Structure formats: structure tokens, C-alpha cells
Structure 1
């Protein structure tokens, strides 16, 4: 049996500039980190030549082409596995609409496990590139590339998306004490709201391509990723928090659905109680509210936002890993 363990992620600044329709005209950039919440995929040889896939549903089919789970179907086709296999998955966090990149972590982890099943070791760039190809090129999802690359690579990264489609990963290396302080000032709260990232991103694309002003906003967000990297490397955490805030204000301008009245209220309360910056993780609209605030202010914020669930997390240095059991 093969088990893969692939981290979810938090995107701090620049999210949305990793989408092909943007970075093919203007280079995109994000600052993102893997976290210690994972998607686990198990792959095992089946006694017959059928394919069994277990997720929220269970499928047993004779041919790969019959699989309804599109990520599994396309990953099996890409890795040229025709049958005699069973695949299961579980996640530490709800997998739909939470803004932590779970679908891309699933795809990266699945590819990693399938290649291990075939006795092959595949590097970070290939895992991320092929996961991106499945989601964006083959399935036509209106998503970006940051999730696949951070899931494969792990760590705290400044990731650049170039016009020619290449991706540069630049690690942000911080002293251990500074990394701990950064982590301890971050607060992640589950809103209970879920949404389709595809729907939000389609609205964003439609709004931005019609508005030169909104296109300039996205360019500013990409530039802020570099500013964020420099602020972290200089140990200026309050500047990091302010950049997080400014990025969220910019992102809210792009399209309806990125925020809503509930999110705006929660964020305003958190700011009044000492949060320097924050954002909704992922495309927007729901999922997790991420806040940057001095640790001494966390209890007050949690008490005021009692309808939201605090979720503890740490940064994760490792990307997707596959184990033989």
C-alpha cells in the first residue's frame, strides 16, 4: 500500500495573480505557506482489474474512462494506470469550499501516490506542473497555479508566475524565533460558510477583463507579494500585517462574492479588537478567516467572534510525501 501526505496551504498576498489569463499578460506573484493540515491518499493493488475509488461516494468501474471523479480519472490517464487499483482519501479539513487549496493538494497527493505505486519517484516541479495541467488545461477549471506548487514544495514561499508559463519558487527563510512569532500572531477561524471557488474566480475574471482599473489592482497585488517577502525577511511583522490588510482591501474591489456582509462585519470587529490585517483564505466568500494580531489580542477576538471556530495550525516545511506501508 502507498500513502501520500500532502499539506494544505494559506495564501497571504497576491492570490488570483497566479491565474493564466492574468500572468500571461502581467507576471503574477504570491506569498504562501504550507500548513500542518493534510490530505491523505491511499493507493493499493486490487485483486481484479477493476478500479475502486472511495471519497464521499464509492465508485467501482471496469474502465478508467467510466470514473466520475474527474481528478482521479485524469490522474490515472496521465500516469497510464488502466486498472487493478483502489484509491481512498481523507482530509484533516473539510475539502469543499474552505479556501485552503484542498483540490490541488488532493491532485498533487494523488499523482505522488500513483507514481509511487508504479515504483517511480517524481520531483516537485513535475508533480506541480502535472497537477496544474490536469486542473487547468484538461479540466478547464478557472484556478491558478500557486496551490499545486505549494502543496508539492511545502514551506513558506514567494512564488512567481511568468508570462511564458514558468514558475519560480523562492523560499522565504526566517530565523526560528521570527518564524515562531509570525505563527503565534496568526489566528485562523472557520466561518462555516462554504462556496465554489470556481464561481468566485469566474466572476472575478469577468469583472477584471472589463476594467483597466481592476487590472491595475491585480498588478498592485502581485507587486505587494515582493513587498511582503521583504517585510518578513527584515523581521517587520507589523508591516506584514498591514500588507495583509491592504491586499484584502484591494482584493475586495475585484468582484462581488469575494466578501459579504458577514465577513465584513467579522473583519471589522477583529480590527477594532487589535487585528492589524487579515483576509478570507482562497478565492473569497467563505471558508476560513485569517487574522494577524498580537497574541495578547487573540482571546478578545475569539470571544467577540464566538460563532466562528478557532483552528490551530503550524507552518509545514515539507511538501507532498509518499510512504510505502
Structure 2
């Protein structure tokens, strides 16, 4: 028997960073994101040989350990081991023997929530195998706990919930509480958004934890510029929600630009000269706005191209050494099955 799962990556459209503690705990955060047709995938094959095998196909890495209640967290595929450790500790109380195979459709550090989505996908495979009684909120919260508490990885809360629930969601973040509000957006508005929103990989990656750690430090030290920037980003999430629900798609680029200018005030390293040059080149070619996906510093960028400007913008971006990534918006989150 093989137990499989897949969870979608996401594009953050507005409010990015306001889901990170301590800002969300103190002021409440708001984010609007949408899942896309790029996935993290996981498959579990139970074994009877007393071994645990991790096979990260996209990274070309394989590790083998004796079955144990506590697999070593040592910098090698820690996300996979972290999920297995938590599942065995909370739901099994005994070592498990299995092969876990994973694949993610985008590179780590690309800004599409790859790490958190992988955690959700791996959890989903364990839920399918062990028939764990976990709902969507349970899975998302458990994924958050594994990353932020067990593995001590800096980051926010949106990615785990986006991957689990799927679709276009307006999410609210408070101290110990998350509310996922699915948005019922007319198909024609989503089609137009998908047509006009280019997803561009800069061919660079970044370590999001260092940027996020500085953002957290700025809030803890009550630095007004950083906190005010996050207030504006929370406002941006509401602006984006209203524009999408009302079909005011022509405002999307302007709203993205509003957020991008404020996001750069949250912490150093969110943008740099290369990314600013890319952004300006896209604007000159016809894009009305855009942003860096995720924490910033590299990875994917998105650009809103009104009318038929997407073709000129695409050609301009290709000349800068990166590449465009095809995608579609998805309506579903985590899927699990077995055969």
C-alpha cells in the first residue's frame, strides 16, 4: 500500500508579514493569498525492515536511519524528520518503519511557501496512513507547531493554512487564533487576474529566516517605521479583498505597488538593487504593480499587467535572466489518497 498526498503552493497577494509573531499577537494580522497549480507531494510506503528512508527526489537527497522515536535533527532533511518525530510522539508512542518520498514543484527559498507546504503534505500522508482524526485547522496548526516550535524555524502562519485549505482566502491572525475566510470571487474576475498576473522566477533564492528574524526584532523593539509598514500591509489586504470581490481588477496593480513600497520598510534585505531594477523594468514595460513573493530577498516576483501588456512585460523580464512560470489558481487544498 502507498499513501499519497499533495498540497498546493501559494501566491501571497496582500498583507505579507502581518502573520508573523509578535506583530500578529499584538495588533492582529491580515493576509490575502491564493493557491496555485504547483505542489508539494509526499508518499509513504510502510516497511517491515526496521528502517526509515527519506527520499527527497527534487533535491537528490536520500537518508536512511534505524526506526526510532526520535530521529536526529541535524540539518539534513529536518522538515521530514520533524514531522515524523511529532507524529510518532503524539499519535503512535512507538517507532515506525517506512519510506517517505517527497517532491516540491518549486525550489526552497523561492517565496511560494515551499517549506510549510511540504510539512502539510507530509502530515497529510501520515494522516492517510494512520487514519488520524485531524481536520483542516488541526493539520494547519500542527504544521505550524512543527516548524516554529519543534524545529525553531522563523516564519509566519499563512503558508500552513493556505496549503491545507486551498483557494483564495482572506486570513486573519490573532494571538493563538487563525480565521480562514474563503472568498467567493466570480470566475471571470479570477480568469482576468490569472491572465494578467505574471509569476517570474528571478533565478535566485534567499534564506527567509534572517529577514523574518529582523522583522520580529523590529516589532519587539517597537521600531515605528517597521510597525507602521505592517499596519499599511494589513490595510492592503482589506483593499485587495474588496477589489477582488467587487471585480475592480484594474486596481490590483496599484494595490500591489502600495504594498511593495511599504513592505520594503519592514526589514533590511526584503529588496535589493537587482530586484528594484527588475521591478522598474517591468513597470516601464507596462506592469502597473507587483511584489516579491514571500519574505523577500529573491525567489519569485509577481507583476500585474493590465490590458495586453503581459507580452511586452514578459519579454522584458526574460531579458533579465530569470524565467516565467506557468500556473493556474486552484480551488482545493491538501488532498490525500491511498492505493
Looking at structure 2, the residues matched to 254 and 208 of structure 1 have their Cα atoms a distance apart, in angstroms, of 9
Mean Cα deviation higher: 6-15 or 43-52: 43-52
Mean Cα deviation higher: 74-83 or 146-155: 74-83
- Alignment pair present for 1:108 and 2:120: yes
Residue-by-residue CA offset, 1:259-307 (whole Å, 9 max, x unaligned): 0101000100111121111001000010011001125111111222222
- Alignment pair present for 1:76 and 2:84: yes
Looking at structure 1, the residues matched to 204 and 129 of structure 2 have their Cα atoms a distance apart, in angstroms, of 37
Looking at structure 2, the residues matched to 315 and 64 of structure 1 have their Cα atoms a distance apart, in angstroms, of 39
**Match of residue 214, structure 2, among 203, 211, 214:** 203
Mean Cα deviation higher: 297-306 or 123-132: 297-306
Looking at structure 2, the residues matched to 71 and 92 of structure 1 have their Cα atoms a distance apart, in angstroms, of 16
| Residue in structure 2 matched with residue 315 of structure 1 by the alignment | 329
Preserved CA contact (<8 Å) 2:225 2:266: no
Name the SS of the counterpart of 2:26 in structure 1. Answer: coil
Alignment of 1:198-237 (within 5 A): 198-210=209-221, 211-237=223-249
| Residue in structure 2 matched with residue 87 of structure 1 by the alignment | 100
| Residue in structure 2 matched with residue 30 of structure 1 by the alignment | 31
Name the SS of the counterpart of 2:38 in structure 1. Answer: strand
Please state how far the C-alpha of 1:255 moved relative to its aligned partner: 1.7
Please state how far the C-alpha of 1:138 moved relative to its aligned partner: 1.9
Name the SS of the counterpart of 2:132 in structure 1. Answer: coil
| Residue in structure 1 matched with residue 7 of structure 2 by the alignment | 6
Preserved CA contact (<8 Å) 1:79 1:115: no
Structure 2 unmatched runs, 5+: none
Please state how far the C-alpha of 1:205 moved relative to its aligned partner: 2.4
Please state how far the C-alpha of 1:109 moved relative to its aligned partner: 0.7
Looking at structure 2, the residues matched to 215 and 50 of structure 1 have their Cα atoms a distance apart, in angstroms, of 48
> CA RMSD of the aligned region, Å?
1.4
TM-score, normalised by the number of residues in structure 2:
0.92
Looking at structure 1, the residues matched to 171 and 139 of structure 2 have their Cα atoms a distance apart, in angstroms, of 16
TM-score, normalised by the number of residues in structure 1:
0.96
- Alignment pair present for 1:53 and 2:60: no
Please state how far the C-alpha of 1:121 moved relative to its aligned partner: 5.0
Preserved CA contact (<8 Å) 1:274 1:293: yes
Residue-by-residue CA offset, 1:187-229 (whole Å, 9 max, x unaligned): 0111001110101111222334441232122112112211210
Looking at structure 2, the residues matched to 227 and 136 of structure 1 have their Cα atoms a distance apart, in angstroms, of 29
Structure 1 outlier segments of 4+, above 4 Å? none
Preserved CA contact (<8 Å) 2:305 2:313: no
Preserved CA contact (<8 Å) 2:163 2:334: yes
- Alignment pair present for 1:130 and 2:142: yes
Name the SS of the counterpart of 2:260 in structure 1. Answer: helix
Structure 1 unmatched runs, 5+: none
Alignment of 1:169-208 (within 5 A): 169-208=180-219
Preserved CA contact (<8 Å) 1:190 1:308: yes
Preserved CA contact (<8 Å) 1:6 1:108: yes
Residue-by-residue CA offset, 1:68-105 (whole Å, 9 max, x unaligned): 432222222222252211101012222x1100001001
Looking at structure 2, the residues matched to 281 and 183 of structure 1 have their Cα atoms a distance apart, in angstroms, of 16
What is the aligned length?
Answer: 323
Looking at structure 1, the residues matched to 144 and 300 of structure 2 have their Cα atoms a distance apart, in angstroms, of 23
Looking at structure 2, the residues matched to 33 and 152 of structure 1 have their Cα atoms a distance apart, in angstroms, of 12
Name the SS of the counterpart of 2:102 in structure 1. Answer: strand
Looking at structure 1, the residues matched to 106 and 78 of structure 2 have their Cα atoms a distance apart, in angstroms, of 21
